Chains A and B, each alone.
Chain A
Amino acid sequence: PSPCASANGRRAGRAGPGWRLDDTEDVSLDFGNEEELALRKAKIRHPLATFFHLFFRVSAIVTYLLCDWFSKSFVACFVTILLLLSFDFWSVKNVTGRLLVGLRWWNQIDEDGKSHWVFEAKKVSTSIAASTEVEARIFWLGLIICPVIWTVFFFSTLFSLKLKWLALVIAGISLQAANLYGYIHCKLGGKKSISKVTSRFFLKLVVPLSEMQN
């Protein structure tokens, strides 16, 4: 169906104002493919990406908390949590940031050996593959809450003197904070100030919550 739909749409666009024109979408989706309509209305358009974004972070935290249940071996827990944290770093940096909020960042080294960091934000698009509010909220919540939890672990490890876990907690904090810093940098884009962005973020969170209460 989709090749036919696009061919018809192109003809409709070129035929001029007499023909049925849909000027909210310049992509020819108005020929009613049911899947595409459902996708446009769906709250979560990238279910796999959303799932994996949260899965690795939450499993790393859960494994850290419950490591004594799973296995008596310190080494096995250490390596498992480290692997989960690395997969999480890779997937958030390369996949979920791009799909869920349209942001990406990386490091480039040019010919003369100077390195600079590039932060990019996708322009707002109305295609069906764009991300939704719900996805963006899940993304930012997951991105912010987990480093906070690892910082709490850092202090609890430090003060309970279980120092052999300290290396792991520091690795966790640095990996998650790196992604957090990168994406905040992308979001700010050098123009707005961080206080405006955070206040808008909390407004978006608080208003639906208060509506739910009323």
Chain B
Amino acid sequence: MRDLKAVGKKFVHVMYPKKSSALLRDWDLWGPLVLCVSLALMLQGGSADSKEDGGPQFAEVFVIIWFGAVVITLNSKLLGGTISFFQSLCVLGYCVLPLTVAMLVCRLVLLASSGTVSFIVRLVVVMAMFGWSTLASTAFLADSQPPNRKALVVYPIFLFYFVISWMILTFTPQ
């Protein structure tokens, strides 16, 4: 259907962040929802109290992603950005895609082995995807700011993806 095709097109745009207005003009929050749920599902079962089947953790990931995205959006709006609230949420949510891919790769690597080599592989992959996420979202969001405020906008985005990457990197299945 029309909506599914729009979501798919946006995923492609995130992987090849060209200067296009498809992500900005027709925003939708379905992609971020799917990515958030899949990332939260994949981060399951990585804590000591796995008797509770990771209940609080699932909601934690959810809250971190959505609350973090809302705070960044508010920050960029207060700094005088021209982008609208939902557009910014849309971009931030879609740019979680590289990190979801990194999580998938990490889980596969952890299935194979969990020694130092696997840690180095995971570190490299997570760092690369973190850089990609930050660059992709900055490419879309920083243009809506006056030039002397770009760093103030990029820093919270950097922190946001850093926290998600940290959660991915420190994930150890029980």
CB nearest neighbor in A for B143: A113
Contact indicator A79/B41 (Cβ below 8 Å): yes
Question: Provided the pairs A75-B41, A75-B53, A79-B37 are in contact, do residues A167 and B62 lie with their beta carbons within 8 angstroms?
Answer: yes
Contact indicator A167/B63 (Cβ below 8 Å): yes
Complex-state Cα separation, A75 to B60, whole angstroms: 12
Per-residue CB contact flags for chain A residues 86-113 toward chain B (1 = under 8 Å, else 0) read 1000100000000000000001010001
Contact indicator A75/B83 (Cβ below 8 Å): no
Contacts of B58 in A (CB 8 A): 74-75, 78
User: Which of the listed residues A74, A75, A78, A168 has the most CB atoms from chain B within 10 Å of its own CB?
Assistant: A75
Question: Provided the pairs A75-B54, A164-B56, A167-B63 are in contact, do residues A113 and B86 lie with their beta carbons within 8 angstroms?
Answer: no
Complex-state Cα separation, A95 to B26, whole angstroms: 19
Task: Report whether over half of chain A's contact residues are helix, strand or loop; otherwise say mixed.
Answer: helix
Contacts of A73 in B (CB 8 A): 53
Contacts of A90 in B (CB 8 A): 3
Residues B110-161 near A (CB distance < 8 A) = 144
Contact indicator A113/B33 (Cβ below 8 Å): no
Contact indicator B55/A109 (Cβ below 8 Å): no
For B, the interface residue count at a CB cutoff of 8 angstroms equals: 25
**What's the minimum C-beta distance from B169 to chain A, rounded to whole angstroms?**
22
Contacts of A78 in B (CB 8 A): 58-59
Contact indicator A115/B87 (Cβ below 8 Å): yes
CB nearest neighbor in B for A72: B53
**What's the minimum C-beta distance from B58 to chain A, rounded to whole angstroms?**
5
Residues B23-64 near A (CB distance < 8 A) = 24-27, 30, 33, 37, 41, 44, 52-56, 58-59, 62-63
Question: Provided the pairs A75-B44, A167-B63 are in contact, do residues A113 and B144 lie with their beta carbons within 8 angstroms?
Answer: yes
Per-residue CB contact flags for chain A residues 158-171 toward chain B (1 = under 8 Å, else 0) read 00000011111000
**What's the minimum C-beta distance from B137 to chain A, rounded to whole angstroms?**
17
Contacts of A75 in B (CB 8 A): 41, 44, 53-55, 58
Q: Kindly state whether residue A29 has any CB partner on chain B within 8 Å.
A: no
Contacts of A165 in B (CB 8 A): 59
Q: Kindly state whether residue A12 has any CB partner on chain B within 8 Å.
A: no
Complex-state Cα separation, A164 to B40, whole angstroms: 14
Q: Kindly state whether residue A82 has any CB partner on chain B within 8 Å.
A: yes
Q: Kindly state whether residue B170 has any CB partner on chain A within 8 Å.
A: no
Residues A129-184 near B (CB distance < 8 A) = 164-168
User: Which of the listed residues A107, A114, A165, A166 has the most CB atoms from chain B within 10 Å of its own CB?
Assistant: A107
Contacts of A86 in B (CB 8 A): 30, 33
Contacts of B33 in A (CB 8 A): 82, 86
Contacts of B63 in A (CB 8 A): 167
Contacts of B27 in A (CB 8 A): 107, 109
Contact of A164 among B3, B24, B55 (CB under 8 A): B55
Contacts of B56 in A (CB 8 A): 164
Complex-state Cα separation, A184 to B25, whole angstroms: 25
Q: Kindly state whether residue B75 has any CB partner on chain A within 8 Å.
A: no
Q: Can you sample 8 A-B contacts with CB below 8 Å?
A: A74-B54, A74-B55, A75-B53, A78-B59, A82-B33, A109-B26, A114-B84, A166-B59
> Which residues in B have some Cβ–Cβ distance to A below 8 Å?
3, 24-27, 30, 33, 37, 41, 44, 52-56, 58-59, 62-63, 82-84, 86-87, 144
